[in-house]
Amino acid sequence: MFIKVVKKKTLFMIISSVLLAILAISAPTAIYTASKEDEEEKKFIKWVDFGIPYEALSATLEIDIATHTEEGQTPLDWVDMLAYLASKYGGDFSHFKKSDLIKLTETLKKENTTIDALGASLKTYSYFKEAYSAALSGFVGNYTIESAHPDNPTEKTVTKKYGLKAFSPIAQGYSYSHFDDFGNSRSYGYKRKHLGHDLMGSVGTPIIAVESGYVECVGWNQYGGWRIGIRSFDRKRYYYYAHLRKDHPYNDIYEGKIITAGDVIGYLGMTGYSSKENVNNINTPHLHYGMQLIFDEETQKDGTNQIWIDMYAITKLLEKNRSAVYRDDNEKEYYRKYEMFEESTEE
């Protein structure tokens, strides 16, 4: 009896040893793979506090354009300048002084260096450069644009330029009012923050594409009413235009259409806040538009990890470039007066 028990116990120990040996071979691999996946977790920007005031945007833009267009100048990029200042200010642009920009440009000339070289010693420079580039990289560059001929207004002339190529969302000649309302409370449907910028205007005001890109979504949304979503070509920026006009919200808009900055895409209205389509349920006619930054398509395009930035200062900057429009009486649509061609679009 005792011998049989020992044999059974011995057999059990042998089998157990074999199983443990097999597990010992395979288990480390499984454990290593799991930990490797954890280590290889995607690293990307998860939040951007875009607190750059109009004064800083305008001043750096002016230097950028001047150094790219005047002879004998070393070209400076406004995003690099903004990132450098943000690193110096700890992200708080309430400290901004134009003299800081002058000092920066003087240092660059004196030391014959670059902003990237100066920023290399600042811990947050690379973060701010990537964040601000995601928001502003489509705004400035080379382009070709039509304009009225100086000697004959009925004819057009074509000029190659470098400068601000993004447009105000409100067409030239149309008035609007706005204030910094980003983050204000909203209650329709559920309590939430206002993640866009409202421009109060008249129903039917032509709405302009801020930047070139392609139409990603179009149609009814109970919060935004008739709305349009346009993605920049580099896929970093998603523009959202909402509360467009009842019955006639769009100007030949469909998903996948290529849009050029300055095009008329629709008309200001007061639709939305209704599960039923084509309903005016907004008290004041206005355009709600916003910019979403996307660093990771999988986690930031939809859901709770979206990044929307304050557009107030950017809207003031875009006042410098408003698209002139005209009305086609036969089609009863508005169109841009002067075409624009960008290098990236032409390619």
Give the Å distances, CA to CA, from 323 to 103, 116, 215, 303.
35, 34, 19, 34
Residue type, position 247, single letter: D
What average pLDDT does the segment 153-180 reach? Answer: 94
Residue 197 to residue 315: CA distance in whole angstroms: 9
Q: What is the pLDDT of residue 153?
A: 79
Q: Which residues contact 169 (CB under 8 A, 6 or more apart)?
A: 199, 207, 208, 209, 210, 241, 287, 289, 315, 318
Q: What is the mean pLDDT of the chain?
A: 87
What average pLDDT does the segment 110-121 reach? Answer: 96
pLDDT tens, position by position, 327-343: 999 999 999 999 999 97
Residue 167 to residue 212: CA distance in whole angstroms: 10
Q: What is the pLDDT of residue 344?
A: 56
Three-state DSSP state, 16? helix
Q: In this structure, what token pair is assigned to residue 64?
A: 């950028």
Q: What is the pLDDT of residue 286?
A: 96
Q: Which of 312, 261, 286 minimizes the C-alpha distance to 205? A: 286
Handedness of CA 172, 178, 183, 188 (dihedral sign): negative
Residue 191 to residue 323: CA distance in whole angstroms: 36
Which pTM was predicted?
0.85
Q: What is the pLDDT of residue 346?
A: 41
Q: In this structure, what token pair is assigned to residue 66?
A: 């001047």
pLDDT tens, position by position, 6-55: 344 444 444 444 443 433 333 333 333 334 444 456 789 999 999 999 99
